[in-house]
Amino acid sequence: MKIIVLAAGEGKRMWPITIDKCLIPFLGKSLLYHNLKKIKENVDPDLIGVDGEFVIISTPQSKDEVTKIAQALNLKFQLVVQQQPKGMADALLSAKEYLEGEVLVVNAEDILDGEVYGEVAKGGADVVVAGLKVDKYFPGGYLKVDGDKVVGIVEKPGEGNEPSGMVKLVVDYFKDGKKLVEYLEKASSEQDDVYEKALDQMITDGMEVKFTKYDGVWIPLKYPWQILDILEHLLQDIEQQISPGANVSEKATITGKVIIEEGVRVFEGAVIKGPCYIGKNVIVGNNTMIRESDLEEGCVTGFSSDITRSYIGANSWFHTNYIGDSVIEGDFGMGSGAVLANLRLDDHTIRVGEEEIDSGRHKLGLMAGKGSRIAVNASAMPGARVGSNSLIGPGVVLYGDVKENKKVLVKQELEITEHTPALTSYDQFREKLKK
């Protein structure tokens, strides 16, 4: 069996995050690393066999990093580059020379319980897919089912038009990879659903397609705020681990499950409440509070900052700031007194962008691309997004989105007149002290 890993998604809806979704680091390792490790541990080696291997489909810009990740896990693998982001079917056809015999097709960035990979990989029909019962509409593929058989697939049917409550996950077994290639090459669609059209045609042509009902964790990564959902999930499984190469003050407070990596310095008065991940060479300054967050390598939190339930990418720095439920890609800076608000006072869920996409979250702060800056005493309102390398100037109150490579400044008019100081209570007080 070959395990085909789809790691070439474009991620248009992830703006302002610029890094490929599967390469976003969590707890010091990329999301792809976490998922490849999970698949490796849960698919029966006897099913893979001596000739089995991973086939990882990546983007041109991520191929070198993907290679390093697969090598770090000691995988037997082939790397295939999808030159243009033309969807799932095109990604698979770019690797068609490897699609032979039994294949298992999986997404690189979906968070699932590991058992589902092993269960679907057992096969038992021409095609076996995984289906998840959902309580509310999700814009994905839905299964038409009859018992344990799939009798049709409908992509994004629209709310109220679902053929069932069963959403199709991307954990798909094919008994004959060449047959999959044949159907993919024949299928066509003006929408991004060629893969689903091919599967639907297989069903129409009488191939046996079954589904495995899955009721575990499922966190898709389509929007930047879902990074927070993935982080919360991954933090649940950590144990306290403080590197002997870290320098933690005896006057700091560490409680709960906290990972502190080598080179970290935690100064007097700092409080870290788990679950938390503090990456290599991070500095946690005096009187800083960090709660339920991930600070990746090289971050600096200066005096008296509060970082709560946030994802902080590498080499970001803070000083006297509040950062709540925010997603920071990295190389980010905040001036003293700047605040990232995370809660509407009317307690409505937070909607994002001009499209007013409902995040479903009551708490959501800033989402910021790599290299962006927030200057002194500036504020970002809940759900705002800032593109990479943009600057929000001093005193700005940011309510909406700012595209990449922009500068936002406040226009200020000053009135300067003559001033004649009068005797004040402060002056009187000082005189009394002299007596």
Number of Cβ within a 10 Å radius of residue 402: 22
Cα distance between residue 40 and residue 62, in whole Å: 21
Residues 410-434: pLDDT tens digits?
Answer: 998 999 999 887 766 666 767 777 7
Question: Is there a single domain that holds both residue 232 and residue 187?
Answer: no
Q: Which pLDDT score is estimated for 373?
A: 98
Question: Is there a single domain that holds both residue 389 and residue 265?
Answer: yes
What CATH number does residue 23 fall under?
3.90.550.10
Helix segments in 73-225, DSSP class H: 88-93, 115-121, 177-186, 194-204
Which residue range is the domain that position 207 belongs to? 2-222
Through-space distance between the first and last CA atoms of the chain, rounded to whole angstroms:
92
In a domain, 418, yes or no: no
Q: Which pLDDT score is estimated for 289?
A: 98
pTM of the model: 0.93
Cα distance between residue 382 and residue 321, in whole Å: 15
In a domain, 416, yes or no: no
Q: Which pLDDT score is estimated for 52?
A: 66
Pairing of strands 141-146, 149-155: antiparallel
- Three-class DSSP category at 431: helix
In a domain, 420, yes or no: no
In a domain, 419, yes or no: no
Cα distance between residue 108 and residue 198, in whole Å: 21
Residue where a domain stops, chosen among 177, 201, 222: 222
Q: Which residue has the higher pLDDT, 200 or 251?
A: 251
How many domains, in total, are found in the chain? Answer: 2
Question: Is there a single domain that holds both residue 42 and residue 82?
Answer: yes
In a domain, 334, yes or no: yes
| Residue among 89, 167, 120, 81 nearest 1 (CA) | 120
In a domain, 415, yes or no: no
Contact criterion met (CB below 8 Å) for 320 and 374: no
In a domain, 57, yes or no: yes
In this structure, what token pair is assigned to residue 419?
């001033």
Task: State mean pLDDT over 367-373.
Answer: 98
What CATH number does residue 348 fall under?
2.160.10.10
Question: Is there a single domain that holds both residue 181 and residue 286?
Answer: no
Q: Which pLDDT score is estimated for 427?
A: 67
Question: Is there a single domain that holds both residue 122 and residue 242?
Answer: no
Contact criterion met (CB below 8 Å) for 387 and 381: no
Question: Is there a single domain that holds both residue 317 and residue 179?
Answer: no
